Amino acid sequence: MLDKMSVERKRFECSALPKGWQREEVVRKSGLSAGKVDVYYYSPDGQKFRSKPQLARCMGDLVDVSAFDFRSGKANNVLRKQRKHRGSPFDITSRGVRSDASLVPPIRQTASIFKQPVTVIKQMEGKVKTEFKHGGQEKPKQLFWEKRLEGMRPCDTEGNELHAMELPKGLKAVGPHVTEETLLQSVATALHVSNQPITGQTGSKTALEKNPGVFINPDQPLVQAVAVGEEDIKRQEERVSLARKKLEEALKNLKQ
């Protein structure tokens, strides 16, 4: 809001608009914008207008304001002559249809070449290869997309960063500059999204390091192939059983 002491207001009748319309000039006297003049218009009922589009919407189809200069409050004589020469209504006080290009929606025009008759000549019949038809195509997958998650770790409700899990020594990352943190994110995503068994990368470590774009399978996580034996299954079952016992004891303590 401008302070009354920092501006000078002048209001007078606007001859370019219908009777009763007033034009106001507000001259700023202080600040960085000192000397700048803001222009406003007031309708006979006291409604204030800050821009030409607002003024045009108020006038509607009753008054044509296309050649009206909002800043000076005068009609553009050059544009008036052009519109009269074209046979378009211009008089700002007449009851013509608005013809301002900036106030009407654009109209799509068709090039004249498309209005002429066209003769289609077929010289040869094309054959579509079966491999280019729709269907049977797999969506391409991005390699090493897991690396975009590097440096991002989960936090608790208080904003404290949680420590990363310790992976078994048998799980080794493959690919250029793939860390254990990236490996964990890759394996977790594969278990959550993929419907096929998780076997890891079947290529040799040397081949995967030299040309990962060819030898890495995007359907598998960035981990070397791991064979799970009976001993591994038994150790995991013991861990699950121990975790269940601890959970039962914790529930009993809560009930007491």
| DSSP per residue, 200-244 | -B-S-HHHHHH-HHHH--TTS-SBB-----HHHHHHHHHHHHHHH
Q: What is the DSSP letter of 148?
A: G
Distance, CA of 74 to CA of 92 (rounded, Å): 10
Spell out, as residue ranges, where the chain has pLDDT lower than 50: 79, 81-82, 85-99, 101, 104
In this prediction, residue 130 carries a pLDDT of 54
Q: What is the pLDDT of residue 163?
A: 76
pLDDT attached to residue 87: 46
- Residue 210: count other Cβ atoms within 10 Å of its Cβ: 12
Q: 103 and 66 in contact (C-beta within 8 Å)? A: yes
Task: Let me know if residue 211 belongs to a domain.
Answer: yes
Between the CA of residue 176 and those of 11, 142, 147, 207, what are the distances in Å?
A: 74, 15, 10, 11
Amino acid at 131: E
Question: Quick check: is 113 in a domain?
Answer: no
What is the model's pLDDT at position 136? 59
3-class state of residue 245 by DSSP: helix
Host domain of residue 179: 145-149+167-255
For residue 196, being part of any structural domain is answered with: yes
- What CATH number corresponds to the domain at position 54? 3.30.890.10
Contact between residue 70 and residue 51 where contact means Cβ atoms under 8 Å apart: yes
Question: How many domains would you assign to the chain?
Answer: 2
Tokens coding 43: 């309708």
132 is a domain residue: no
Tokens of 247: 């959970």
